[in-house]
Structure 1
Amino acid sequence: MSNQEASPAGIPVYRHEAKDREIDFAAGDEQAIQRITAHVEQHIGPVANVFHEIISDLVHIDILFVPPTPQRNYYTLVTCGMSNRPMTVPEGAENFRYAELMLCLPPSWPMSEEAFRDEEHYWPVRMLKTLARLPHEYDTWLYHAHTIPNGDPARPYARNTKLAGMLVELPTLVNDPHAFFTLNMEADKDVHFFTLVPLYAEEMNLKLAQGTEPLLEKLAQAGVNEIVQLDRKNVAKKKLFGLF
C-alpha cells in the first residue's frame, strides 16, 4: 500500500506500508529467462554466472552477471524475473508495466560466494533483488527519474559507503542503449531495461527540493553513471573555501 505526498518541488513522494500477508511463492519462467539472457548477451556480453533465488516471493528474481572485458571494464548485473508480473502503473503508462533493472560494479569488486557473506560486497545484489520486487509488493511502479531511498530516513547501504538510495535511469553503458532498452516478449508485452544510479541522501533531497533536472544536470557534469563508486563526489554538497 502506498501513500502519496508532494515534495517542495511538486514531485510525488510515495510512502510504502508493508502488507500483512503470507508469502506468495513464485517460480521462474524458463522461456522468459532464455529470452532475457539472450537479450543481455546480444547487447552487453556473455552471461558468465547467474545468482539464483532458492525461495521466491511474488516473482522469482535471478541476477545475471556479465564479467568485465577490455572494452567494458566493469561487471554488469541484470535482474531476470521482475517482468514476470506487470507493475501497477498510472493511466497512460500501460506500455511500461514490465521492467528489469541493471547496474555495474568496478572490476575490483569481490564477487565470490565467500565475499558475498559480507554486506559490504553483497549489498548491490540485495538492492537489485529488493527493488525488483518492490513494485509487486507495494502495487506501484519504477520508471525513469524515480528515486528510491534505502529506508526512511535514508541510510547508507553498508559501512564502506555513504550511498543511500537509487535513481532509475535509462541505460548508457551498453552497445546500443536504444535497442537494449526494449525487449518485445509478446504481442502485448514489452520489457524495458532501466539502469540504477547510486545516490547520496543529499542528492535525493536536492531532487525533492528543486526538481529532477537540477539533479540530472549535476550528475552529468560530474560524469556519474551506473557504475557503483563507493566514495564518489557528492554533487549536492558545495565545496567550501577558506576558514569559517
Structure 2
Amino acid sequence: MEENLYHHKLLSHYISNWGDEYRSLIWEKGPYKDLGDQFRVLEFPPTPERNMWTYATCGMSHFEDQLCLELHIFSDEQDQTLVESLIVIAHFHRFRTRLGHWHTINWGRGWRLNSSCSFALLSQPYLDGAKLEILDLEDGKSVFFYWLVPITKEELVFKKEYGADKLEEIFEENGLNYLDPFRSSLV
C-alpha cells in the first residue's frame, strides 16, 4: 500500500470515530523531521458528546511495519505539550524500541508541570471500544489504536509486580480520572 493512501486511511478512521473537526499539528523542535513528511499529531476539540481534547498520532508506524500502531491521549484542556510528547514517543517507537499493548513509557517529566503522572500505559481504547481499536487494511494487515493513559511511578511499580490487568482493574474499580494530571496514585 502506498504511504499516502495509508495515511489517508488512518485519518479517515479517526474522523469516523471522532468527527471531522480537527487540526493537523507539528512541533518544529526535536525529532519531528525524522518521522517523515506524512507524520502528524491530530488535535480533536471537545464536542457535546466528548467534553475533552483528543491528541492522536497519524503515521507513527509505516504500513510496512510488522505491527502498525497509533496512540492517542485525552486532556481536559488544549495542551500543545502533548504534541511534543506524542512526537517523542513516536520517534522512540520508530527508532529505538517498538511499543505495544500494555507497554509503559517514561515521559522524563510530569504529564503537566507538577504532575505526579510521569509515565504512561498503552491501553486499549476503552472509551471508544472496538470501533476505534483496530483498523483492518488489505492483505490481512491491521493498525492498532491504543490509549496513552498517564500513570504515576507507584502505579508503574504495581503494574510491573502484578500486571497491567490488575492495574486496569484498580483503575476501573476506583473510577480513574484520566483527565486529571494532578490526581493521586490509585495504588
Superposition TM-score, scaled by structure 2 size: 0.85
Separation (CA, whole Å) in 2 of partners of 1:122 and 1:160: 17
When Rg is computed on C-alpha atoms for both structures, the one with the higher figure is 1
Partner of 1:56: 33
The percent identity for this pair of structures is 28
Report the CA distance shift for 1:189/1:200 in structure 2 as closer, same or farther (over 3 A).
Answer: same
Kindly indicate whether residue 100 of structure 2 is the aligned counterpart of residue 123 of structure 1. no
Partner of 1:143: 100
Higher helix proportion (structure 1 or 2): 2
SS in structure 2 opposite 1:82? Answer: coil
Separation (CA, whole Å) in 2 of partners of 1:104 and 1:79: 12
Partner of 2:182: 231
In 2, are the aligned partners of 1:145 and 1:167 still within 8 Å (CA)? yes
Separation (CA, whole Å) in 2 of partners of 1:137 and 1:42: 30
Structure 2 unaligned regions, length at least 5: none
Q: CA deviation at 1:233?
A: 2.8
Partner of 1:104: 74
Separation (CA, whole Å) in 2 of partners of 1:125 and 1:134: 14
SS in structure 1 opposite 2:56? Answer: strand
Separation (CA, whole Å) in 2 of partners of 1:47 and 1:56: 25
Report the CA distance shift for 1:201/1:85 in structure 2 as closer, same or farther (over 3 A).
Answer: farther
In 2, are the aligned partners of 1:79 and 1:128 still within 8 Å (CA)? yes
1:182-212 Cα deviation digits (max 9, x unpaired): 1123314211111110001111011123332
Taking the TM superposition and a 5 Å limit, the aligned residue runs for 1:152-167 are: 155-167=109-121
Q: Of 138, 141, 148, which residue of structure 2 is paired with 1:186?
A: 138
Report the CA distance shift for 1:43/1:158 in structure 2 as closer, same or farther (over 3 A).
Answer: closer
Separation (CA, whole Å) in 2 of partners of 1:53 and 1:187: 33
Partner of 2:125: 171
1:43-100 Cα deviation digits (max 9, x unpaired): 122242110355521445301121111111111111101122655xxxxxx5xx1110
Report the CA distance shift for 1:170/1:183 in structure 2 as closer, same or farther (over 3 A).
Answer: same
Report the CA distance shift for 1:206/1:86 in structure 2 as closer, same or farther (over 3 A).
Answer: farther
Q: CA deviation at 1:165?
A: 0.5
Separation (CA, whole Å) in 2 of partners of 1:31 and 1:169: 27
1:4-52 Cα deviation digits (max 9, x unpaired): xxxxxxxxxxxxxxxxxxxxxxxx9432222111111111222421103
Kindly indicate whether residue 183 of structure 2 is the aligned counterpart of residue 206 of structure 1. no
In 2, are the aligned partners of 1:170 and 1:194 still within 8 Å (CA)? yes
2:19 alignment partner AA: G
Separation (CA, whole Å) in 1 of partners of 2:167 and 2:136: 31
For the aligned residues, what is the CA RMSD? 2.3
Kindly indicate whether residue 10 of structure 2 is the aligned counterpart of residue 36 of structure 1. yes
Report the CA distance shift for 1:158/1:65 in structure 2 as closer, same or farther (over 3 A).
Answer: closer
